[in-house]
């Protein structure tokens, strides 16, 4: 009961200060939920044997800092050519990236798009890139049915 009496005797300025501190804490907790990598993969679900297929990988980040990303594809079927290309790029909040792979599948396959956040110099301007604490590998898997 004594604590409640003190609360009612507190000045308006003190109560306002406590309210502002509480709102500031809520805002700080909200800012930590930014996602390091957001992947969007576009590839057809079906294709004909030996027809050219294009896979598009769109990358973005919600972090204020830039990331050095290495993007590549993996599959359960061996494919030659551009399917094996890896892209290294600087990903910043205001500059999303698109990577394209054109390939000719000859049978149905599982495809995994992989993005590794790496430590490499001279990719981002001023070498001001960061590496996330929780995870540095992101992936998206899909299937391509070949008829």
pLDDT in tens, the chain (147 residues): 555 555 555 555 555 555 455 655 554 455 568 899 999 999 999 999 999 999 999 999 999 999 999 999 999 999 989 999 999 999 999 999 999 999 999 999 999 999 999 999 999 988 778 888 888 999 999 999 999
Give the integer Cα–Cα distance in Å for 114 and 40. 12
CA angle 72, 74, 79 (to 5 degrees): 105
Domain 38-146 has CATH 2.60.40.10: yes
Domain ranges of the chain: 2-31, 38-146
Of 78, 76, 59, which Cα lies nearest the Cα of 138? 59
């Amino acid at each position: 009961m004594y604590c409640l009496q003190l609360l009612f005797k507190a000045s308006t300025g003190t109560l306002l200060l406590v309210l502002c501190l509480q709102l500031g804490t809520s805002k700080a907790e909200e800012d930590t939920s930014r996602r390091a990598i957001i992947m969007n993969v576009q590839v057809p679900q079906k294709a004909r044997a030996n027809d050219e297929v294009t896979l598009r990988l769109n990358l973005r980040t919600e972090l204020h800092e830039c990331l050095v990303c290495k993007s590549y594809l993996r599959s359960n079927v061996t494919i030659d050519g551009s399917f094996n290309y890896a892209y290294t790029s600087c990903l910043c909040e205001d500059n999303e990236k698109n990577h394209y792979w054109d390939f000719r599948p000859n049978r149905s396959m599982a495809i995994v798009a992989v993005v590794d956040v790496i430590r490499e110099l001279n990719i981002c301007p001023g070498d001001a890139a960061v590496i996330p604490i929780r995870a540095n590998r992101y992936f998206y898997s899909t299937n391509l049915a070949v008829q």
